[in-house]
A and B are shown apart, each in its own frame.
Chain A
Amino acid sequence: MTSQAADARYVEIPAHTVREEPIVVAVDTDKGEVADTGVMVRAGATVSIVVAAGGTNAAATTSASLLRVIAEEGANVTITEVVGIGSSQQHLESVGVDADDDAHVEVRQYALGGGTVAFGTAVSLSGDRARANVGLRYFADGKDHLDVNHVVRQRGKNTIAHVRENGILDDAAEKALRATIDLVHGARGSKGDEAESVLVFGDDVVNKTVPVILCDEDDVQGNHGATIGTVGPEQMDYLADRGLSRKDAEALFVRALFEDAIINAPEAHAHDVAVRQAERVLGAEVAHDFDASVQLAEDEEA
């Protein structure tokens, strides 16, 4: 089948090699770009993949990125997705991963706001002892819509999955999150857990959460949890003692989220998307503060 994406590509990482430079998928949402990427990570190989989707234009566009990864036996795959788009734009962000025996998949996602963003992640732990960590940090404000669907299917024996979502919603943002741990028949000895923590700041926020565990095997452990609320009174008292108002405290949480995104952006495109969104939300001075601290850390490391 021919891909519809203009820049579709296929990358193969040879067995037992370490690819030093990340595979970068940069999607300019201002241009409504669409990317379709397939990565075959052969046995024992290690690779980092970065998807950076961002734009600033007022023009309404639709963009998308589809990333498909096959991680063979013992492969190590790290996927970082940073998405921050204009308020009139919509972006569809999809990742599908199949992990064979002893493969390890790390998915780090940053949804940093913008019109409508749909994050779809499907991880199949097909092999025995395969592991997946999926972590999403999100921020949505204004009239942003964020729709997240995380699915981890644990098919092999003794597989382990951790799914964490952590976000902030402000103004009239709407978020729907479905997170599914599916312990398939035969996945004996597997453990899956999922947890979401949401801070709600805006009066008109709509937060929907549906954490699902499907369990068709007895010798497994499945857990999930969700906490939805605002800054707790104890935390507020602590911060008030230090001269911070509620607004100051909320701003601290937002700053921490963007700082994390900027610090952990593994290459220039992802970094630019995170900084641009930080500028929009927190102002240029704060955003470049983060940047300066990143630079300082890099200099020290050098």
Chain B
Amino acid sequence: MTKERTQVADVDRSLYDFTKSEEGYERYADGLTPDIVRAISAKKDEPQWMLDLRLKALDEYHRRPMATNWGPSIAGLDLDHISTYVSPKTKQASSWDDVPADIKDTFERLGIPEAERESLAGVGAQYDSEIVYHNMREEVAKQGVVYTTIEDALHDPKWEPVVHEYFGTLIPMTDHKFAALHYAVWSGGSFVYVPAGVSLDYPLQSYFRLNAQGAGQFEHTLIIVEPGANLHFIEGCSAPKYYEANLHAGAVELFVKDGARLRYSTIENWSKNMYNLNTKRATVGADAKMEWVSGSFGSHVSYLYPTTILAGDRSSCEFTGITFSGATQDLDTGCKVILNGRDTTASVSTKSISKDGGINTFRSSVVVGRHADNARCTVSCQSLMLDNISRSDTIPAMDVRNPTASVGHEATIGRISDDTILYLMSRGCSEQEARTLVVNGFANPVSKELPMEYAVEMNNLIKLEMEGAIG
């Protein structure tokens, strides 16, 4: 039977869509008040400057109106019915045996411990608002690499001044309303410091799981890669599906110093009730390189535009991204590149797939500053429409202020040609297999940039999303 032959049938839907009881969890009241912000800060026993920053951010959040002229509607997001802090009653562990059974089971099902054993230099696992597991290989720690939570770094006299120096400087709280929200209630995330000249052979990975219903996750990731160092950092996120809105408003600040290299890979598979309003930004020093690999598959609404500031001469950036939007999804994704240094280069390549009424919007912004002599930038965006009830828009913007710069942009939107499907069917594929094959091929330039287990996860997600694409 045809059905038995489709690869889609092999995918276990329960991989992401399972929930665990919140019984016994610490859950703060819905809404956003100074008391809640103070309670979060007190629970973390933070230095005064961090509490001051939180309260200032809270004022900024209330002061700013909700944007009404940007992207997909977020009218369904009611902060008065979102809890900004939910924590399982457990301490951070450095052994999976010390993690509560239900949480451990969650991460086992997501394959995190297995990946750690096989191919990672360190893992952080966040469950709702707190990191529940953190560990790093001893040999990596011996090189002077620090991979911990921001909370722990704030309690270490050696690292607290470093956090103070960098935290919130690349993404200011005035960036937008949800950046302000983030700084008011941030919790969890990662602090990574790679000393000069150190190159990690294996990636570090943080996985963020939001289990609680009607809650927000606001992790902050701060990574400093010192001159000549090299790091691959992987970020994964998922959540089960509920029938009320969840919110993710994280922040990622990346400092890539002179001659360093940082690859930041993300596979985002939030549930389709999630508002994913995340902010990511990197600043790149002279002769340094920033690489983004980004896969967006989940969430109800996304605003996601990782930004790279090529500040140093001869710095470079590559952005490779894919967004898959299905039923009930309206994903507004893309990237921003600001070329300020001389002889800087940037390359952006994105793909998007729309089906079952899903809406994709690709947005990019390329800004070439006045002093960016000989800057080079290319942007390529390809969109695939799988049916006539979906939608795909591309909105790239280029602002060039240097006469020696060269900027190129190309975009195409179309569907899988009938000839291609017919050809594959004539060789024994069912129509669904043929379409899945073509979509996988379309996504291949992105999946080949991912670590193997993530490439497999991405291909599985595509198969999962393709189920029911026919008829």
Contacts and interface: CB of A to CB of B under 8 A. Distances in A.
Interface residues on A, range: 35 or more
A278 to B, nearest CB: 23
A86 B239 CA distance: 61
B219 to A, nearest CB: 33
B387 interface: yes
Nearest to A178: B397
Interface stretch (A16-24, A33-41, A204-212, A268-276): A204-212
A208 B409 contact: no
A223 B398 contact: no
A252 to B, nearest CB: 17
Given A211-B409, A214-B393, A200 B414 contact: no
Interface string B395-406: 111111111111
Contacts of B156: none
Nearest to A229: B406
B279 interface: no
Contact of B411 (A213, A216, A230): A213
Interface string A213-241: 11111111111111111100000000000
A207 B398 CA distance: 8
Contacts of B403: 200-203, 205, 230
A212 B394 CA distance: 6
B395 A210 contact: yes
Given A203-B403, A215-B383, A222 B408 contact: no
Contact of B406 (A204, A215, A228): A228
A225 B398 contact: no
A208 B407 CA distance: 11
A230 B401 contact: no
Chain B interface secondary structure, helix, strand, loop or mixed? Answer: strand
Interface string A236-274: 000000000000000000000000000000000000000
Nearest to A199: B403
B164 interface: no
Given A210-B395, A218-B390, A224 B414 contact: no
B400 A222 contact: no
A185 interface: yes
Given A207-B400, A215-B391, A220 B413 contact: yes
A174 to B, nearest CB: 10
B410 interface: yes
A230 B370 CA distance: 15
Contacts of A210: 395-398
B392 interface: yes
A223 B383 CA distance: 10
A223 B52 CA distance: 50
A211 B411 contact: yes
Given A216-B391, A221-B413, A224-B410, A208 B398 contact: yes
B399 A206 contact: yes
Nearest to B408: A227
B13 to A, nearest CB: 26
A207 B409 contact: no
B399 A207 contact: yes
B409 A205 contact: no
A205 B370 CA distance: 9
B409 A226 contact: yes
A6 to B, nearest CB: 36
A219 B387 CA distance: 8
Contacts of A215: 383, 385, 391-393, 413
Given A202-B403, A212-B396, 9 more contacts: A198-B400, A207-B399, A211-B396, A215-B393, A220-B385, A220-B413, A224-B411, A228-B406, A229-B405
Interface of A: 183, 185, 188, 198, 200-230
Interface of B: 370, 383, 385-388, 390-415
19 contacts: A198-B400, A200-B400, A200-B405, A204-B401, A207-B399, A207-B400, A207-B401, A209-B398, A210-B395, A212-B396, A215-B391, A217-B385, A218-B387, A218-B415, A226-B408, A227-B409, A228-B407, A230-B403, A230-B404
